[in-house]
C-alpha cells in the first residue's frame, strides 16, 4: 500500500511539473505561477547611445522584468546595474549571469561584483570551455525583450565610453538569443543563428565580409581595435573600387595599431582619431541601408574563437541615430596621418 501511494504521489508531481510555466517554473526561478508580459503586437527596435542616454534604457528593462533576466556580459561592476539585478532577484525574478572568467586586464571590480551577486542568490557561470572569451553583451528579459549592445555593465561604459545598444522585441531574435544563452549555460551546442543575428564563432566572419563586399557607396566603422587581415583586405578592396570608407578609432596604443592604420590609409581609407569619449563602440554602417551593432571587434579572436553577438538593423530610425552620432564624432576627431607625431 505504501509503495502504491508513493507511486501515485510521484505521478502527480510529474504531472504538475509538466503543467508548469515553462522555463519560469524551474528551481530558483521565482514563483511557479509567474506569467511573463504578453508579447507586443509588433516588433520594435530602439537604439540607445552612451554616454548620452545614460543608464535609463537598461534600468527600465531590468526594473520591468516580471519572471526572468538572463545576462551574458564580459564585465560587470557598475553599482547601479548590480542594485537593479539585486532588486529583481528580491522581488522573485530569476536572474542568471554568464561572464568572462579571465578578462583582459584583470577586470577590476569583477570579483567583488560577482561575490555580491552570488551571495544574493543570483546564479553565475563563466561559459563553455571551448569558447576563448565570453565577450558577448546581451540581455534577455522575460523571453519577450532583448538588449544587444557593445557595452560592458561598468561605470566607464555608461559614463565615458562611446557605446551603442539595441532594445528589441523581435520574437525571432529574442527566442534565438534565449536559446544561445541556454546552450552556453548548459555548455551544449547553440542553435545556428540566422536572420538579423550575427554570432561568433558561428557566422561572424562571412556575414561581416559579405556586408562590406556588398557596399555600394559608403562604409562607416567604429573600431576599438582592428587586427583581422581579411577584414582589412575587404575594407581596402571596397575603398579601391570607389566606396568611401571611414573609420573612427582611438589613439594608437602600440606599433601594431600604427601598422594597421598605415595599411588602411595607404588604401585610401579615411581614419579619424577621437580622444573623448573613448571608442569602445563596435558599429558598422553600410551605405544608408544597414547598421550592425554588437560586440564583435574586427580581430581573428573575436570572429573565430569568442562568443560574440551583434544585430543587423535596417530600421530608418536606427540608421539615422547611429549615422548622426558617427558624423558628430567624425567632426570632433582628428585625421590620422601616417608618421605624424600628433598622436
**Residue 104 belongs to domain with CATH number:** 3.30.870.10
Residues 235 and 171 grouped into a single domain: no
* Sequential DSSP letters for 171-234: HHHHHHHHHHHHHHHHT-PPPPP-TTEEEETTTHHHHHHHHHHT-SSEEEEE-S----HHHHHH
Residues 326 and 221 grouped into a single domain: yes
- Walk along the chain (343 residues) and give the pLDDT tens digit of each residue: 343 333 332 333 333 233 333 444 443 444 446 887 777 766 788 999 999 999 999 999 999 999 999 999 999 999 999 999 999 999 999 999 999 998 886 666 777 888 889 898 999 999 899 999 999 999 999 999 999 999 999 999 999 999 999 999 999 999 999 999 999 999 999 998 889 999 999 999 999 999 999 999 999 999 999 999 999 999 999 999 999 999 999 999 899 999 999 999 999 999 999 999 999 999 999 999 999 999 999 999 999 999 999 999 999 999 999 999 999 999 999 999 876 645 4
Query: What is d(CA 234, CA 242) in angstroms, rounded to the nearest whole number?
Result: 13
Q: For residue 159, what is its C-alpha cell?
A: 559614463
Burial 306-315 (b: 16+ CB within 10 A, else e): bbbbbbbbeb
Residues 204 and 190 grouped into a single domain: no
Q: For residue 331, what is its C-alpha cell?
A: 567632426
Query: What is d(CA 118, CA 8) in angstroms, rounded to the nearest whole number?
Result: 37
User: Burial of 241 by CB count in 10 Å (0-12 exposed, 13-18 middle, 19+ buried)?
Assistant: exposed
Give residue 266's domain range. 199-335
Q: For residue 297, what is its C-alpha cell?
A: 571587434
Domain count for the chain: 2
> Could you tell me the strand order of the sheet in which 218-222 lies?
197-200, 308-313, 290-294, 283-286, 218-222, 244-249, 270-273, 334-335
* Sequential DSSP letters for 87-113: HHHHTT-EEEEEE-SS-GGG-TTHHHH
Pick the last residue of a domain from 194, 211, 227.
Answer: 194
Q: What is the pLDDT of residue 28?
A: 41
Say how many C-beta atoms besides its own lie within 10 A of residue 57's C-beta.
Answer: 18
Pick the last residue of a domain from 194, 216, 249.
Answer: 194
Non-local (6+) Cβ contacts of 157 within 8 A are 50, 78, 151, 163, 280
Residue 14 lies in a domain: no
Cis previous bond, 201, omega within 30: yes
Residue with cell 570607389: 242
Residues 160 and 53 grouped into a single domain: yes
Q: What is the pLDDT of residue 41?
A: 66
**Total number of residues shown for the chain:** 343
Three-state SS at 248: strand
Residues 114 and 56 grouped into a single domain: yes
Residue 21 lies in a domain: no
Q: What is the pLDDT of residue 216?
A: 97
Residues 67 and 181 grouped into a single domain: yes
Residues 178 and 228 grouped into a single domain: no
Q: Is 121 left (phi over 0), alpha (psi -120 to 50) or beta?
A: left
Residues 49 and 187 grouped into a single domain: yes
Pick the last residue of a domain from 194, 209, 244.
Answer: 194
Residue 7 lies in a domain: no
pTM, entire model: 0.88
Query: What is d(CA 310, CA 123) in angstroms, rounded to the nearest whole number?
Result: 25
Query: What is d(CA 249, CA 222) in angstroms, rounded to the nearest whole number?
Result: 6
Query: What is d(CA 28, CA 85) in angstroms, rounded to the nearest whole number?
Result: 15
Amino acid at each position: 500500500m505504501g509503495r502504491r501511494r508513493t507511486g501515485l504521489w510521484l505521478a502527480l508531481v510529474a504531472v504538475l511539473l509538466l503543467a508548469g510555466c515553462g522555463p519560469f517554473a524551474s528551481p530558483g526561478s521565482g514563483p511557479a505561477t509567474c506569467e511573463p508580459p504578453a508579447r507586443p503586437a509588433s516588433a520594435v527596435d530602439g537604439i540607445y547611445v552612451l554616454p548620452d542616454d545614460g543608464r535609463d534604457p537598461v534600468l527600465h528593462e531590468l526594473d520591468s522584468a516580471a519572471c526572468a533576466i538572463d545576462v551574458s556580459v564580459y564585465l560587470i561592476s557598475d553599482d547601479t546595474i548590480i542594485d537593479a539585478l539585486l532588486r529583481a532577484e528580491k522581488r522573485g525574478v530569476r536572474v542568471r549571469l554568464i561572464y568572462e572568467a579571465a578578462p583582459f586586464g584583470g577586470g577590476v571590480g569583477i570579483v567583488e561584483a560577482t561575490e555580491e551577486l552570488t551571495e544574493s542568490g543570483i546564479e553565475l557561470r563563466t561559459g563553455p570551455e571551448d569558447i576563448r572569451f565570453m565577450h558577448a553583451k546581451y540581455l534577455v528579459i522575460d523571453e519577450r525583450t532583448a538588449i544587444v549592445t557593445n557595452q560592458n555593465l561598468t561605470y566607464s561604459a555608461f559614463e565615458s565610453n562611446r557605446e551603442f545598444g539595441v532594445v528589441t522585441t523581435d520574437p525571432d531574435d529574442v527566442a534565438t538569443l534565449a536559446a544561445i544563452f541556454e546552450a552556453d549555460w548548459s555548455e551544449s551546442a547553440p542553435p545556428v543563428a540566422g536572420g538579423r543575428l550575427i554570432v561568433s564563432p558561428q557566422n561572424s566572419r562571412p556575414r561581416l565580409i559579405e556586408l562590406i563586399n556588398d557596399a555600394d557607396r559608403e562604409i562607416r566603422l567604429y573600431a576599438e581595435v582592428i587586427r583581422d587581415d581579411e577584414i582589412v583586405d575587404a575594407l581596402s578592396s571596397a575603398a579601391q573600387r570607389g566606396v568611401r570608407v571611414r573609420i573612427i578609432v582611438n589613439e594608437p596604443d602600440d606599433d601594431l595599431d600604427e601598422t594597421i592604420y598605415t595599411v588602411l590609409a595607404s588604401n585610401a581609407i579615411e581614419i579619424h582619431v577621437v580622444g573623448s569619449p573613448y571608442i569602445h563602440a563596435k558599429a558598422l554602417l553600410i551605405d544608408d541601408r544597414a547598421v550592425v551593432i554588437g560586440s564583435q571587434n574586427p580581430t581573428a579572436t573575436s570572429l573565430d574563437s569568442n562568443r560574440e553577438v551583434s544585430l543587423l538593423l535596417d530600421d530608418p530610425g536606427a540608421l539615422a541615430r547611429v549615422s548622426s552620432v558617427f558624423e558628430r564624432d567624425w567632426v570632433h576627431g582628428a585625421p590620422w596621418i601616417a608618421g605624424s607625431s600628433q598622436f
